[in-house]
Chain A
Amino acid sequence: MNVVGYLGSLAFGLAAIGSGVGVGIIVGKTIESVARQPELQGRLQSLMFLGIALTEALAFIAIAIAFIPFAAPAAG
């Protein structure tokens, strides 16, 4: 049995680990802060979405790199 695939998808999986951890930390900290100061929720939420957007950009760069046609993989 042999496994055939494209290495780019593996690379995306690895890159997604980093963004996943980052987004998790951001959301967790936001929840902590809202628990401490519920009146700041609106402001904190917009900051949270900003942080998520900046963090997950790294994962999207990884997807985009998978679309760049480097040397064609050898058939077989």
Chain B
Amino acid sequence: MKRYISLAALALLLCAVGVSNNCIMEEKVIEIVVTDKTCQEMEENHDSANFVTPAIIYYAAEIDAILDDNDYSREDMHSARVMSVAYIVTNFSHTHDWTISGYIDVERIDISDGPATLFNYTSQSVTGAMGDYVIAPLQEAGVELINRALDDYIAGGNPVIRFAVHNGNVLPPPSPADPIVFNWRACIMIYVTTLAEVDAPDPF
């Protein structure tokens, strides 16, 4: 009987030590999600309702910075997609409000892709966009263009996107004596997923 008990104790000991070494550790591949935004500051100063304000976004550098902030690199990336776009007026000092209408489009300038409308804004009060971000009602064509740029980045490319405001209407109409002047910021929120291999204790 004692022999069996000793064997049982030895088996338990070996099991405990074995479990404690390699048996319990399993390599897991987990998909980590990082969210961040890339923002573009814009300055508007116009004396007519019809104006175009372009901005160039070096998307590769923007995503490099996001990854670097989170201790990841391009090689770690698995996927990336647009989550939302929002804008806010950051500086406005007129004595009266303006209502503006138009659209914003995006176009790749490193390759031929676009332009495609990202979102329309209709009767947007300038003062109404101060304080809190306004969520943009996105168009699929523009979102898909940015998503393709993100895919190209993962594949090793360096996408550059031209972001342009096409304003078509302003009320009251601006003039040289009363130009529409304001600063605003547009932010594209994206998520990035990375694959990480983690040795996690999963003994049973």
- Are the chains A and B members of one assembly? no
User: CB within 8 Å of A: which residues of B?
Assistant: none
User: CB within 8 Å of B: which residues of A?
Assistant: none
